[in-house]
Amino acid sequence: EDQVTQSPEALRLQEGESSSLNCSYTVSGLRGLFWYRQDPGKGPEFLFTLYSAGEEKEKERLKATLTKKESFLHITAPKPEDSATYLCAVSSGGSYIPTFGRGTSLIVHP
């Protein structure tokens, strides 16, 4: 059974204070690791897909990296508008059904 653990559960940063969110996973044959952003009262919004260890993807102040056991979402010089819950999910083997982590709630103070 696929497992996804995200840490920390909550993170408070000052504007401009860079940090990283962690997603540890256990799967049998990784098909893809996904990062989503969820704002209050909205559905999760797709950010990145990573397929293999060593892969990196960037979008504005966000950079996602992947190893064989975990993924990091690096946030460089965050702004208050980056405040949201960030969800990690994995798909494995022949399944198109992702397993989601519980998320990290990020608050960036001005």
Partner 1 sequence: DAGVIQSPRHEVTEMGQEVTLRCKPISGHNSLFWYRQTMMRGLELLIYFNNNVPIDDSGMPEDRFSAKMPNASFSTLKIQPSEPRDSAVYFCASSPGRQGPSYEQYFGPGTRLTVT
Q: What is the largest CA-CA distance in the chain?
A: 44
Q: What is the CA radius of gyration of the chain?
A: 13
Q: Nearer to partner 1 by C-beta: 66 or 87?
A: 87
In angstroms, the CA 37 to CA 32 distance is 17
Single residue of 46, 56, 81, 109 touching partner 1 by CB under 8 A = 46
Per-residue x/- track, 74-103, partner 1 (CB under 8 A): -------------x---x----xxx-xxxx
Q: Is the CB of residue 73 less than 8 Å from the CB of residue 21? A: yes
Interface residues toward partner 1, by CB under 8 A: 31-32, 34, 36, 41-46, 49, 51, 87, 91, 96-98, 100-103
